[in-house]
Amino acid sequence: MRKLTLLILTMVFVQLTKAEDGHQLWLRYQPVNKAKVTGPECLAADKLRTYFLGENATLVFDPSMKEDAYQIKGSTVTAKNEIGLLYGAYALLRGEQGYSAPYFNLRILNHWDNLDGSIERGYAGRSIFWDLENGQPKAVNTSLIEEYASANASIGINGTVLNNVNASPKMLSAIYINKVKEYADILRPYGIKVYLSVNFASPMSVPMKGINNGKVLKTADPLNPTVKAWWKAKAKEIYQLIPDFGGFLVKANSEGQPGPFDYNRTHADGANMLAEAVAPYKGIIMWRSFVYGAKHKGEDRVKQAVSEFKELDGKFRSNVILQSKNGPLDFQPREPYAPIFDNIRRTKQMAELQITQEYLGHSRHLVYLAPMWREFFGFVAPERLVGIAGVANIGLDKNWCGHHFAQANWYAFGRLAWNPMLTSESIAKEWLTQTFKSLQDNLSPLTSHLSPLLSMMLRSREACVDYMMPIGLHHIFAFDHHYGPEPNGFIPQYPIEWCPVYYHKADSLGIGFDRTHTGSDATAQYREPYCSMYDDINTCPERYLLWFHHVPWSHRMKSGRMVYEEMQFHYNRGVEEVEDFVRIWQEVKPIIDEQRWQEVNTRMQHQLENAREWRKVRLDYFGSFSK
Ligand code: GCV
């Protein structure tokens, strides 16, 4: 027994003394180079030969299998094609057995990366794809992109949009398209297709040979024949270089982006024109429904997507997919689901989730997002969707995501895109045991640390809701950067939808946004039973109370507390939860390597400070109304 303990401690010591910066993510296989692999020579064979701990592994093609699916029996992996074998090889390395097939065909990361190297809402350093070197696009970092590709392939992600939805037209110039080809060539063996965000007015900035005598166009009107010809020629140019190019993602007529409304055309006119250009190559158009302040300016912001798109349902070409955020507002820590998913019936739909923590404490707060995404699937059945997009949290930081635990959100996104029925707990467990090897079963005396870490991850999203936006308060984040509270936020020159006071509507009588039939009637956009449930103050779940109702300060909550007291309760609970996370992190110190432990610890101290700050600022502010 003593010998065994000594052996375990030695193994742990070796593990802990190794420099550890988190760069390896959850892929911590040591090259053992001992397995003999029988079967086709492919990337899956390479991976198994290098990392598989067994002596033999076998790879088998079975053309009758579903695309990308795999079957693992012992150390034999069977799949239809090389990508299926690769997914299977990674699954075998993490200990899976049995049959598995992806739920969604489209499992896509959206990078909000700008060509100058900055990342919109990025909190982990600069872009891995873009930057300028002497005014030219930077050279491709092949080995880094290969690492990125294997991380994605290991969790089944099969597409990536390389640039920000607030897209620069330059993206479609020859010099950048050539770079996109370089990325596509590196990513292809890993089963990852590239896509681009496009600026709808690109024909007005980027000249195209053979169109309008090589001069830029004066219009981007989607019904104009020269505009159509420009996009067709652009698609041809791209597909000649990248035959398996995925297609375009478009943000149009929202937050100042150009779009078909500029020419009195509809979203369908715009999307269909682009769809026609990529159709010969089997490309797709992902058209975003995140719109406000254009055609329905002045209407409650959370209603505008349905108002704009409902009447167009059924008018989109078959290769257009409407891409909508999970909530109707903007990636708040908790939102009711977006009712656009109820209202669109004859157009393909995708959900857009945000992996980067724009409103959830950036990469400073430990917030595990799988519970939030699972909550969404409880309202929007996965079978209503053809794909999932996730706004990436990846940058040039050594550990990719800024916070070591933010890697878990990248991991969870991929796993849920593969199988939305997986539980948050099983995903967290997989991630923890792969990422912190000392938690693996073979070091059983230490596995007792797994459960506090698991519990911390699983409670972290609710804690964040508690200290940031209890009982349905929303968008009371500081202007522009969205980090920290600014409940009194009002800047007359800003659109009212950016101002926190518009959302909480606190005054001496009460608080909350009336979205019932007596108010903006946003509840009417929901299917039953939610429409009636949310509309009635007696049945509206209290987690959404101030989202849907303006209530007097004297309103009694189910707990018997009045509204302000209930807010106090939640703020306190949120802070106490973070205090407990800090305690857990101290407790696991002996089993976590020094560098990662310290880096997480520093961030946790910030998180705690911030949670206390949120509590104080909000209680002081709202207390001044509620008295
Ligand atoms: C990419 C919010 C964010 C913006 C983002 C926008 C969108 O408004 O704050 O940074 O822009 O959503 O999703 O288009």
Per residue in 311-344, pLDDT (tens digit) is: 999 999 999 999 999 999 999 999 999 999 999 9
428 C-alpha vs ligand 1 centroid, how far in Å? 28
Atom of ligand 1 nearest to the CA of 166: 1
Q: Which of 6, 88, 100 is nearest to 39 (CA)?
A: 88
Give the whole-angstrom CA distance, residue 517 versus residue 584: 46
464 C-alpha vs ligand 1 centroid, how far in Å? 21
Average pLDDT over residues 68-81: 98
The pLDDT of residue 207: 98
Give the whole-angstrom CA distance, residue 317 versus residue 270: 11
- From 113, 118, 121, the mutation candidate for ligand 1 (largest count of ligand atoms within 8 A of CB) is 121
Q: Is the CB of 26 under 6 A from ligand 1?
A: no
**Tens digit of pLDDT for each residue in 588-616?**
999 899 999 999 999 999 999 999 999 99
Atom of ligand 1 nearest to the CA of 325: 13
Give the whole-angstrom CA distance, residue 151 versus residue 411: 9
The catalytically annotated residue of 131, 330, 335, 514 is 330
What is the b/e burial string over 615-626, where b = at least 16 CB atoms within 10 angstroms of the residue's CB?
bebbbebbeeeb
The pLDDT of residue 148: 98
Widest pairwise Cα distance in the chain: 83
Average pLDDT over residues 117-125: 98
The pLDDT of residue 449: 82
Distances (CA, A) of 483 to 119, 288, 478, 480: 16, 25, 6, 9
The catalytically annotated residue of 358, 430, 486, 535 is 358
327 C-alpha vs ligand 1 centroid, how far in Å? 13
Q: Would you tell me the crossing angle of helices 407-418 and 370-377 to the nearest 10 degrees? A: 30
Distances (CA, A) of 372 to 336, 421, 514: 11, 13, 24
Would you say 279 and 319 are in contact if contact means Cβ atoms under 8 Å apart?
A: yes
The pLDDT of residue 439: 79
Amino acid at 43: L
The pLDDT of residue 7: 46
604 C-alpha vs ligand 1 centroid, how far in Å? 26
The pLDDT of residue 441: 55
> Could you confirm whether 330 is annotated as catalytic?
yes
**Tens digit of pLDDT for each residue in 248-260?**
999 999 999 999 9
Q: Is the CB of 120 under 6 A from ligand 1?
A: yes
Q: Is the CB of 118 under 6 A from ligand 1?
A: no
**Tens digit of pLDDT for each residue in 532-575?**
999 999 999 999 999 999 999 999 999 999 999 999 999 999 99
Atom of ligand 1 nearest to the CA of 120: 10
Give the whole-angstrom CA distance, residue 582 versus residue 576: 10
329 C-alpha vs ligand 1 centroid, how far in Å? 11
> Could you confirm whether 311 is annotated as catalytic?
no
The pLDDT of residue 316: 98
The catalytically annotated residue of 96, 147, 255, 542 is 255
Q: β-strands 76-79, 56-61: how paired?
A: parallel
**Tens digit of pLDDT for each residue in 193-213?**
999 999 999 999 999 999 999
79 C-alpha vs ligand 1 centroid, how far in Å? 39
Q: Is the CB of 292 under 6 A from ligand 1?
A: no
Q: Is the CB of 112 under 6 A from ligand 1?
A: yes
Asked whether the whole model's pTM tops 0.85, one would answer yes
Distances (CA, A) of 406 to 202, 428, 431: 35, 12, 11
Give the whole-angstrom CA distance, residue 159 versus residue 162: 9
> Could you confirm whether 255 is annotated as catalytic?
yes
> Average pLDDT of the chain?
95
Average pLDDT over residues 139-144: 98
User: How much of the chain exceeds pLDDT 70, in percent?
Assistant: 96
pLDDT band at residue 18 under the 50/70/90 scheme: low
pLDDT band at residue 293 under the 50/70/90 scheme: confident
